[in-house]
């Protein structure tokens, strides 16, 4: 029985480790970006590299950045000052909302009123809190899109533009027209979806165009605002609540001018940050990094402001326009496949997060159960007798010594039991002991003896 428990515990332990390895292995594989496969790339031949590209003799060393892909560029001139794997296709998370705003801003009146729908309120991820059948201005929706990265606001703006599918098609056309050929849009929020990918280069190109719009810059630099609550009862005033920006670069970096945060479990940390110092505006885009992605963007911006005068451009954000079908533009054609980053699956996604959570819970349960079984096994081993080997034949036998419990018995019953079970004893032989004669008897005896003589 103990051997079976030990085998069961070992098996459960192995299963738990395999489940944990499967989950972690999928995540580690998903974190590896694909190297740029083209010999040349949009924006310049050097941007085809998967390594760090910089040409700044005499400048300080670049900061250590964990991001799998990043770009540091001048928003005004379009010069790329440094980059790492800029065309790797990775998940954008909410940084895709830059393209959402860029596509729908020209088509919506900020003063127009929109009535929220159930599909808006029921989206996944971050929300501003739209209430179905409540009315909001388009201006409110844009503020929610930028400040709290509301996915419900993104859905509402898409429906206000004409619907989800027309808006997605519009976003894809906008990206292609600007030469952002690494970008494929599936939804307007940036939530993880099969095939929804972009690159640090594309996001930088889109940001440069978006920041040229005054309305976009206004929303990107807004720190807080009042957002309408649920509809009031008749005769009552509608209440509002404060919404606050999630852009920590905007709050902590002098000269910051936006622009967008992003995070999902598969995309990990994504961030596009821009700042103006000394009359120069730089943008630093990072993809697939830690949660505090803004810190890496800030580090790159600081390097750019301090060493930008020494840096020769390694590329440009002046991307070419999208080609006609089958016609080559630079290294890529509209009909040729674009290399995607490896993210653990054919669709660019690893395990969905509910399945990841289930695997984690299952692995922990199995490991805990295996631990209990192994502890029981060790406890049995300590209590089991040791095998004793004797003789030249090395036959193994087990000797177990068990102490019988002592049962108290009545006194007379114990005596009877002893007498009934004890072997008969031989009768003792007694030697009579003679009493020494009295002194008077000894004297008399001596007298008698003398008379006789």
Q: Which sequence positions are flagged as catalytic?
A: 94, 97, 149
94 in Cβ contact with 149 (< 8 Å): yes
Pairing of strands 69-74, 52-54: unpaired
Whole-angstrom distance, CA of residue 431 vs CA of residue 228: 124
Identify each DSSP E strand in 168-279 by its residue range.
224-228, 240-244, 256-264, 268-277
Burial of 249 (0-12, 13-18, 19+ CB in 10 A): buried
SS3 state of residue 333: strand
Strand partners, 52: 84
Cβ contacts of 210 within 8 Å, gap of 6 or more: 98, 101, 102, 216, 220, 259
Using DSSP's 3-state secondary structure scheme, residue 42 falls into coil
What's the burial of 20, exposed, middle or buried (CB within 10 Å: 0-12/13-18/19+)?
Answer: middle
């Amino acid at each position: 029985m103990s051997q079976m428990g030990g085998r069961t515990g070992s098996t459960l332990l192995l299963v738990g480790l395999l489940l944990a390895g499967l989950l972690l292995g999928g995540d580690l594989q998903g974190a590896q970006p694909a190297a740029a496969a083209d010999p040349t790339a949009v924006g310049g031949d050097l941007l085809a590299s998967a390594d760090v590209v910089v040409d700044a003799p005499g400048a300080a060393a670049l900061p250590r950045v964990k991001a799998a892909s990043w770009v540091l560029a001048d928003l005004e001139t379009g010069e790329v000052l440094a980059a790492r794997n800029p065309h790797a296709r990775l998940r954008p998370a909410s940084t895709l909302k830059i393209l959402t705003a860029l596509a729908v801003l020209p088509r919506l009146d900020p003063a127009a009123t929109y009535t929220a729908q159930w599909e808006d309120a029921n989206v996944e991820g971050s929300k501003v809190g739209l209430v179905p059948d409540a009315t909001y201005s388009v201006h409110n929706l844009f503020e929610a899109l930028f400040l709290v990265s509301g996915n419900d606001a993104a859905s509402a703006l898409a429906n206000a533009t004409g619907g989800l599918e027309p808006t997605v098609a519009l976003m894809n056309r906008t990206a292609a027209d600007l030469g952002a050929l690494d970008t494929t849009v599936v939804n307007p929020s940036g939530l993880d979806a099969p095939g929804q990918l972009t690159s640090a280069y594309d996001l930088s190109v889109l940001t440069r165009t978006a920041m040229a719009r005054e309305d976009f810059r206004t929303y990107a630099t807004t720190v807080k605002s009042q957002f309408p609550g649920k509809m009031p009862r008749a005769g009552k005033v509608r209440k509002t609540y404060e919404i606050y920006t999630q852009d920590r670069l905007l709050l902590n970096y002098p000269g910051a001018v936006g622009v967008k945060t992003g995070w999902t479990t598969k995309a990990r940390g994504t961030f596009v940050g821009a700042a103006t110092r000394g009359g120069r505006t730089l943008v630093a885009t990072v993809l697939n990094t830690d949660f505090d992605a803004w810190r890496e963007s800030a580090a790159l911006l600081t390097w750019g402001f301090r060493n930008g005068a020494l840096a020769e451009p390694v590329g440009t954000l002046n991307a070419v326009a999208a080609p006609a079908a089958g016609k080559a533009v630079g290294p890529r054609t509209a009909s040729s496949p674009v290399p995607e980053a490896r993210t653990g699956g054919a669709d660019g996604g690893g395990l969905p997060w509910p399945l990841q959570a289930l695997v984690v819970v299952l692995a922990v349960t199995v490991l805990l159960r295996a631990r209990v079984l192994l502890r029981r096994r060790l406890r049995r081993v300590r209590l089991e007798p040791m095998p004793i080997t004797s003789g030249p034949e090395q036959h193994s036998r087990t000797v177990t010594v068990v102490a019988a419990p002592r049962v108290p018995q009545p006194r007379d019953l114990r005596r009877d039991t002893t007498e009934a079970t004890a072997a008969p004893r031989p009768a003792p032989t007694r030697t009579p002991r003679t009493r020494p004669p009295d002194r008077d008897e000894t004297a008399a005896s001596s007298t008698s003896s003398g008379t006789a003589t």
